[in-house]
Amino acid sequence: MNDLTAFNNKIFLYGIVVMVIFEIASLPLIGLDIEYTYGLFLGTFIAIANFSILAFTLKKVLSNGNKSFIFLGYFFRLTLYGVAVVTAFKVSNHAGFGCLLGFITVKISIYYLHGFKAKFSEGRKVRPEVQAEFDREDLEKDMKRDGISEED
State the total domains in the chain. 1
Is residue 104 in some structural domain? yes
The pLDDT of residue 123 is: 59
Q: Report the distance separating Cα 41 and Cα 16, nearest Å.
A: 9
Give phi and psi for 124, each to the nearest 5: -70, 140
Is residue 146 in some structural domain? no
Is residue 91 in some structural domain? yes
Strands (DSSP E) contained in 31-144 are none
149: region left, alpha or beta (phi > 0 left; psi from -120 to 50 alpha): beta
Q: What is the pLDDT along the chain (152 residues), one digit of tens a residue?
A: 466 677 788 889 989 999 999 999 988 988 888 999 999 999 999 999 999 998 888 888 888 877 888 888 899 999 999 999 999 999 999 999 999 999 999 999 988 887 776 565 555 666 677 677 777 877 777 777 777 665 55
Is residue 135 in some structural domain? no
Could you tell me the pTM of the whole model?
0.71
SS3 42: helix
Give phi and psi for 151, each to the nearest 5: -75, -25
The pLDDT of residue 63 is: 84
Q: Which range marks the domain in which residue 71 is found?
A: 3-121
Is residue 126 in some structural domain? no
